[in-house]
Copies of this chain bind each other. A is one copy, B any other.
């Protein structure tokens, strides 16, 4: 199991927990919780694989991923009272998830020989799409449209990735730094209420 697969698995854990918590908040039944956890964790990677033409899509041939999600749901069940008391837990796992998945998507775009622009887009899709479907299914406004720093953090992390690569930083360092950048930018954005410019005269 190489480095990028470890990051992928950690992202899966983060998103599966964030999905299970969101479903738990909405008081879905046992099956609903599993579905939402699965879709949140596997949704972004599934769209990425479909766009790239990887088939069958990765969760179909990767039982580790499926078992990981089921274990995460179980753990969330057991610790749900504690996890929900920490009001920021859902935000925390969601943010870890987008940082890790951005890097995974970037890496797959590079492996496919695509333009840096497209690689960043793929990182962004991998990171954000699972959360968007989660929000649609539990009937919230998709997080990506509520606060656009969400996706912008992924784009910034992607830019940092290519800058580090340009200076020939070691690959694993590049992955770690750009993934952590996404997480920090998102946390700062929420903390200090950063907003993107809006081209309107009020």
A interface with B by C-beta (< 8 Å): 24, 27-33, 35, 46, 50-57, 59-61, 63, 66, 77, 80, 112, 114-115, 117-118, 137, 145, 148, 151-152, 195-200
Min Cβ gap A25→B in Å is 11
Contacts of A52 in B (CB 8 A): 55-56, 60
* Cα(A118)–Cα(B31), bound, Å: 16
Q: Given the complex of chains A and B, what is the CA–CA distance between A27 and B185 in angstroms?
A: 24
Contact B137 A61, beta carbon cutoff 8 Å: no
Given contacts A56-B112, A145-B137, contact A29 B195 (CB under 8 A): yes
Smallest CB-CB separation from A66: which chain B residue?
B117
Q: Which of B80, B118, B200 contacts A27 (CB 8 A)?
A: B200
Q: Is the CB of A29 within 8 A of B198?
A: yes
User: Is B30 within 8 A of A196, CB to CB?
Assistant: yes
Q: What B residues does A115 contact at CB under 8 A?
A: 63, 66
Q: Please state if B118 and A60 are interface contacts (CB–CB under 8 Å).
A: yes
Cα A111 to Cα B29 with chains together (Å): 32
List residues of chain B with CB within 8 A of the CB of A200: 27
Cβ contact within 8 Å between A148 and B114: no
Interchain CA distance A126-B35 in the complex, whole Å: 15
